[in-house]
Structure 1
Amino acid sequence: MIRTFRHVEGALRLAEDASPADEGVVWLDLMAPTREEETRVEDALGVDAPTREEMEEIEASSRLYQEDGALVMTVLLPARGDSDDPEMAPVSFVLASGRLITVRYHAPQAFETFPRRAEKSAPGCGTAEGVLMALLEAVVDRLADILERTALDIDALSHKVFGAGAERAAVGADALRDVLKGIGRQGDKLSDIRNSLMTLERAIGFLGQWMAANHIDKDLRARQKTLARDARSLSDHASFLSQKVQFLLDATLGLINIEQNQIIKIFSVVAVAFLPPTLIASIYGMNFEIMPELGWPFGYPMALGLMIVSAVAPMLYFRRRGWL
């Protein structure tokens, strides 16, 4: 599918029947394009759009390059960022022939929210460079929103581990297992976001060099520098959240070890407490012919009393020492 946008009266308008080479067209959004659609755009603008296989290559030289006057940048962006399992896939941005071409095979939310906002007002989007800058700003804003939600989810996990009622929540193995699963999901999500921000930082830096070399408008260059600082700050924040997730993981594993040690401790104390009664029962269970207590009228109650006293006394001692 190809979405074609024109800049009309200070806003971006979706032009369904427009040709890529028509006057006023500044943005071509290729969503899961067919080979015929790619050929149509390439023939109209004289540019080679990156294929899906080329977009998925991990070398920096394959993601950021200039070719035949076209600037090509490929970054990893998340879709379904509000879920615990975002879909990560590459998106290519191509500046060529006064047009911005985006090629993607998934649906990052910025590509839905930005056109709706730009349809009402899109200052500075009269050129392909302006549209690219505004779209990258929307992408960074979306990543910031995802990080904010992730931070709230991590805080909720932290309250489960350390907050009020944490002792009650940590009693059952199921509760600790759920916490571990939540920490794992947030760790995976942060790993994806950090990877996305890394590719985005590289692309913004590459764009800045291209702007300086081609003497692009100073306002756009100033926006590029601001965007680079924002991406860097988000990357630092994501690193901080990753450290917090690691701390929560270590703390939860420590609580699990404490819980297991407490169980082993109880078993050990119970085993020690029942050793003396077991010894007494073993002695009086021996079948020797001469045992004076066998003839006593109160021999059986005496043996039972000795076993009870020998069991209760260690328990009281352990409790006094704080071992129980």
Structure 2
Amino acid sequence: MYLPVVATYRQGERIARETLVFALSPDRVATLQPTRHYPIFDKAIARMRRTPRLVQSSYGVMYALVYALNEAAERVIHHASDLLEEMSDQIEEATLGYDRRGREIGVTDMQGTISRMNRAEEIVSSTQESQLSLARAARHLRSEIADTDPVLAGLVETLIADIDGVKEHASFEHDKVRYLQQAIMTSLDVKQNQIVKVFTIITAVFLPPTLITSFYGMNFTRMPELEWELGFPWIVLVTLVAAVIPLVYIKRRGWLR
């Protein structure tokens, strides 16, 4: 029986993802792996030393190897969860719209946080795929054991439950990442809409004075206001009133909130 699995594990600050293949028979198990010494399987070797009965059959060895891969995936999920916790303050600031100094947060300020969140989502998605392949391998192993070794069959049943538990944890973290991404993008969209609203209000306030000045910028031969002694103060007053009227209207409509 040939069982391909996807291994996801943490290597320092880097998350590695590789495909392994198990060849399982009743008397032996072989692995197709990237290197002769595969660090993940050190945990499997240690478990077999603690439980010598596992090395009495190829199924026990296979159980220990799959168990080690599941533990490696679980550590990856905890790493992704820690990344999200480290970004919690920045995410809260983005949601509120201001940093600790009271300065408004823009899109540029959140690029680093958004990039790290995308990385966390990629890690979680890779782990979900790994758990699907591990669950398949563990179920095939359980079917091969059948009733020949009830103790080992019970261990494999527990392993299947653990694999499903890690997969559910990964699904929870994936939903969390998506929610936080949506919260940040919504906050930034609201901020951009506020900026557009400010420019719209400024345009509305200065449009009537601009219209008045455009009239008096025309080269007409006869303009009575130019010969009037109070012409300039009068035009200034009319321009000021024309600017205040839209502002009062906008304020009464509640568009400044």
Specify the TM-score bucket, using the shorter chain as the normaliser.
0.7 to 0.9
Question: Hey, what's the Cα distance between the residues in 2 that align with 1:164 and 1:180?
Answer: 11
Q: Deviations over 1:65-100 (max 9, x none)?
A: 2xxxxxx322110243664x6332211233457444
Following TM superposition, by how much is the alpha carbon of 1:113 offset from its aligned partner in structure 2, in angstroms?
Answer: 4.2
- Would you say the 8 A contact 2:142–2:157 is kept in 1? yes
Kindly indicate whether structure 1 or structure 2 has the higher relative contact order, using CA contacts under 8 Å at least 6 residues apart.
2
Question: Hey, what's the Cα distance between the residues in 2 that align with 1:323 and 1:178?
Answer: 33
Q: Deviations over 1:138-188 (max 9, x none)?
A: 221221121122123234445533468741157211133333323322222
- Would you say the 8 A contact 2:135–2:164 is kept in 1? yes
The percent identity for this pair of structures is 29
Corresponding residue to 1:224 among 156, 163, 169 = 156
Q: Which residue of 2 aligns with 1:154?
A: 84
Q: 1:159 to 1:322 in 2, by over 3 A?
A: farther
The question of 1:257 aligning with 2:214 is answered: no
The count of corresponding residues between Structure 1 and Structure 2 is: 250
Whichever residue aligns with residue 145 of structure 2, its letter is: M
Whichever residue aligns with residue 126 of structure 2, its letter is: D
Q: 1:101 to 1:293 in 2, by over 3 A?
A: same
Q: 1:162 to 1:110 in 2, by over 3 A?
A: same
Q: Deviations over 1:226-270 (max 9, x none)?
A: 000111121122222222223233333322322222222112111
- Once structures 1 and 2 are overlaid, which stretch shifts more, 97-106 or 292-301? 97-106
- Would you say the 8 A contact 1:151–1:241 is kept in 2? yes
Q: Which residue of 1 aligns with 2:212?
A: 280
Whichever residue aligns with residue 168 of structure 1, its letter is: Y
- Would you say the 8 A contact 1:197–1:231 is kept in 2? yes
Query: Which stretches in structure 1 are left out of the alignment for 5+ residues?
Result: 1-64, 66-71
Find the residue that maps to 1:171 and give its secondary structure: coil
Whichever residue aligns with residue 193 of structure 1, its letter is: T
Question: Hey, what's the Cα distance between the residues in 2 that align with 1:118 and 1:223?
Answer: 13
Following TM superposition, by how much is the alpha carbon of 1:114 offset from its aligned partner in structure 2, in angstroms?
Answer: 4.2
Q: Which has the higher helix share?
A: 2
Q: 1:113 to 1:320 in 2, by over 3 A?
A: farther
Q: 1:227 to 1:304 in 2, by over 3 A?
A: same
The question of 1:210 aligning with 2:141 is answered: no
Find the residue that maps to 2:218 and give its secondary structure: coil
Q: Which residue of 1 aligns with 2:107?
A: 173
Corresponding residue to 1:242 among 168, 171, 174 = 174
TM-score by length of 1: 0.66
TM-score by length of 2: 0.82
Q: Which residue of 2 aligns with 1:86?
A: 15
Following TM superposition, by how much is the alpha carbon of 1:304 offset from its aligned partner in structure 2, in angstroms?
Answer: 2.9
Following TM superposition, by how much is the alpha carbon of 1:316 offset from its aligned partner in structure 2, in angstroms?
Answer: 4.8
Find the residue that maps to 1:286 and give its secondary structure: coil
- Would you say the 8 A contact 1:158–1:248 is kept in 2? no
Question: Hey, what's the Cα distance between the residues in 1 that align with 2:211 and 2:239?
Answer: 9
Q: Which has the higher strand share?
A: 1
- Would you say the 8 A contact 2:94–2:105 is kept in 1? no
- Would you say the 8 A contact 2:97–2:187 is kept in 1? no
Question: Hey, what's the Cα distance between the residues in 1 that align with 2:155 and 2:126?
Answer: 26
- Would you say the 8 A contact 1:75–1:199 is kept in 2? yes
Question: Hey, what's the Cα distance between the residues in 1 that align with 2:94 and 2:174?
Answer: 24
Question: Hey, what's the Cα distance between the residues in 2 that align with 1:165 and 1:251?
Answer: 7
Question: Hey, what's the Cα distance between the residues in 2 that align with 1:100 and 1:263?
Answer: 64
Corresponding residue to 1:266 among 181, 198, 214 = 198
The question of 1:233 aligning with 2:165 is answered: yes
